[in-house]
Amino acid sequence: MVSEMKPVARQASRLVSGMGLALLAACSPVPHAPVLSYDGQVRPSLPSTARVATLAALPLGGESLGLLRARCHRWRPSGSFDRVPLATLDCSSSRLHQGLRHKARQIGANLLVAKRCFQWPRPAVTDSVTIECSARAAWARPELLAMAAGSEIAEPAGGDGADPVGSQPEVSFVPSPSAPVRPRPPWGAIQEVPELSVAARALGDLTARCDDCSPRALQGAIERGAQLLGADRYSIAECHREPLAGGTGLSCTSHLGVPEVDPRLDPRAR
């Protein structure tokens, strides 16, 4: 039996939702981290490993709980930046979908129904777009889910359960004097090397910081940040403890590089 939200709790939920959307409406060159909002009923939460299916329509016998929304600003920096949430560089519809699934489990939903994603340019902010995804959160008995499995919408694999508004590493970047000023296209394959070779062109130094992240999480932040900044290699990160907002946190720095002649930007290498 689905428990109903009390009137006061529902009003508070709508207030939090409105505040979140109002915050998102602000247009700033410094991007906000992704934000999730929800308005609806809450069931007992599900385990972090619980399956959340995505369907085009609510199956017969299922129950709609409320509306979930996630929004982020995809930002392509063209120079140095300091202590920006990694999620602002890694903004995509697939990442937002992971956030919707994470939030669905928290509110006891095992279905996302009629998910839609849109994107549009951010006025007065160069190389930036806003991406928003929304879906109806719903719950259905396991046997109903099994019957609807054939109509489930395939979603990108990987990162299931990621929380775009939870604890996230912050990243800083100081470009090399010889690095190009304009943004570079993200590089797919990337490798960790002991140090940059003389044949590599230095892009700059990338630092990841977090007050409660593991060294492995910061290593992942370095690798993902390097990809998004257009590097094809990064040096083994040097890590140390430093004072952060929550006390003492971990900070890791790596040197980023690319081939001397980049085939994506220089026709001579094609």
Return the bridge partners of 112, or none. 54, 137
Residue 117 lies in a domain: yes
Residues 90, 130: one domain? yes
112, two tokens: 């996302």
Domain that holds residue 252: 170-269
Which amino acid, residue 130?
T
| b/e burial code for range 199-226 (CB count within 10 A of at least 16 → b) | ebbbbbbbbbbbbebeeebbbebbbbbb
Residues 91, 40: one domain? yes
Pick the residue with more confidence: 113 or 163? Answer: 113
Residue 159 lies in a domain: no
* CA gap 216, 213 in Å, rounded: 8
Q: State the pLDDT at residue 66.
A: 96
**What CATH number has the domain bearing residue 251?**
3.30.110
Residues 195, 107: one domain? no
Please state, as a whole number, how many other Cβ atoms lie within 10 Å of the Cβ of residue 95: 20
Q: State the pLDDT at residue 125.
A: 59
Residues 136, 181: one domain? no
Number of domains, the chain? 2
Residue 66 lies in a domain: yes
Burial tier of 128 (Cβ tally within 10 Å: 0-12, 13-18, 19+): buried
Residue 94 has pLDDT above 50, yes or no: yes
Residues 219, 138: one domain? no
Pick the residue with more confidence: 84 or 15? Answer: 84
Residue 132 lies in a domain: yes
Residue 101 lies in a domain: yes
Predicted confidence (pLDDT) per residue in 185-222, tens digit: 676 788 999 999 887 888 999 999 988 778 888 888 99
